Amino acid sequence: MSPTGFEYRDGVLHAEEVALPLLAAAVGTPAYVYCANTVRARYRRLDQAFAGIPHHIHFAVKANSNLSVLSLLRELGAGVDIVSGGELYRALQAGFHGRDVVFSGVGKTVQEIAQALEAEVQLINVESEAELVAIDAVAARLGVVAPIAIRVNPEVTVDTPHAYIKTGEKGQKFGIPRDDVARLVELTGELSHVQLRGMGMHLGSQIGNADPLRDALPRLLAAIAYAQGKGHPIAFMDVGGGLSVPYESHERDADIDDYATIVRA
Ligand SMILES: Cc1ncc(COP(=O)(O)O)c(C=O)c1O
């Protein structure tokens, strides 16, 4: 079986054991076809790399919000990383619970923040000071305390195939610049409807080697130590992303063992 699950057999494209012309005849075209066994195998490989460390793998719904794909990942034990109210809706439709959800992304609307709090998501990853204040206000209105994480921009050099999929370099719109993290931690301590439960980061997509992660993790750990020193009950470290997938034959698969070794240390 090919690593993707797709291969030609006697000139006929197959997805796993299924000849695609049969599927086309049954459901028409265009049709999107995914290989569940490939998803299962890749999920298990990532999960096993972290064996022995308490961990939870969150799938970025922006990558594919097909309900069958999401349900399959849920059955495997995954959670989701969402960036909109629409993605929250689809995740819930696929059977995820709020506790399986981390809400990231710049530009969350007040309505989306309220939906996330009503769904009791695990964490809202804060991407700006204005958003922190907005989350506190929405939580106060709903009479709840919002579990939040600060998304730190670790400001490391990231090598990605396209400049627009870097997220963890200095000047990117994502996350809190590292020099501002202390101030946000202080502000969090002054707000009564947010609780700082985690620190996170996301470096970019299609990162083929673990160097940026190696550079960034000490910076994330420093932010965690600072917040803990101020008495915040940090329980989660959100370590993303994004492990590369080979779309073209010259592209490399992510070195998951290297990635896991760094996180483990
Ligand atoms: C918070 C967050 N999660 C996930 C992603 C998706 O990237 P990947 O699946 O490559 O980690 C992004 C991309 O910008 C992101 O910002």
Angle, CA of 204, 40 and 9, to the nearest 5°: 105
Residue-wise pLDDT for 76-118, tens only, equals 999 999 999 999 999 999 999 999 999 999 989 999 999 999 9
Could you tell which of 205, 243, 256 is best to mutate to test the pocket of ligand 1, judged by most ligand atoms within 8 Å of the CB? 205
Closest Cα to atom 5 of ligand 1: 60
The answer as to CATH 2.160.10.10 being correct for domain 40-264 is no
Ligand 1 center to 83 CA (angstroms): 9
Distance 211 CA to ligand 1 centre (A): 17
pLDDT at 110: 98
Q: Is the pLDDT of residue 250 over 90?
A: no
What is the C-alpha to C-alpha distance for residues 40 and 47, in angstroms, rounded to an integer?
10
Pocket of ligand 1 (CB under 6 A): 60, 63, 81, 104, 167, 174, 202, 205, 240-242
Question: Rg of the chain over CA atoms, in angstroms?
Answer: 20
Domain segments of the chain as ranges: 1-33, 40-264
Question: Whose CA is closest to atom 11 on ligand 1?
Answer: 242
What is the C-alpha to C-alpha distance for residues 34 and 36, in angstroms, rounded to an integer? Answer: 6
How many CA atoms does the CB half-sphere of 50 hold within 13 Å?
12
Q: What separation in Å is there between the alpha carbon of 27 and the centre of ligand 1? A: 32
Banded model confidence at residue 1, pLDDT cuts 50, 70, 90: low
